[in-house]
Amino acid sequence: MEKTTARGMVERIASLLDVSADEILLPDDAGAMFGVTGWAMYKRAKKGTAKGHFWGRNLFFIRKELISMI
């Protein structure tokens, strides 16, 4: 996904959830928090070991939900 498309998706999700766009993380950003790849975060979300949200085929994470997992 292109960065401009991804950023637009993040801003749209943030407005729907009434949170700051900085609180919405894409898999690569979420993976950087844990020192793993975005693909690893995708697999963790599919398994249910990381709280991820799918919007269509796109996966996103909410920062405070990831922090609460620690």
Domain 3-69 grouped into CATH 3.40.1130: no
More confident residue, 4 or 5: 5
**Cβ count within 10 A of residue 3:** 8
pLDDT band at residue 6 using 50, 70 and 90 as cut-offs = confident
Tokens 């975005």, residue?
A: 38
pLDDT band at residue 70 using 50, 70 and 90 as cut-offs = confident
CB neighbour burial string for 43-69, b if at least 16 within 10 angstroms, e if fewer: ebbeeeebebeeeeeebbbbbeebeee
The pLDDT assigned to 4 comes to 60
Return d(Cα 10, Cα 20) in angstroms, integer: 10
Each residue's pLDDT tens digit, 11-66: 888 888 888 888 999 999 999 999 999 999 999 999 999 999 998 888 999 999 99
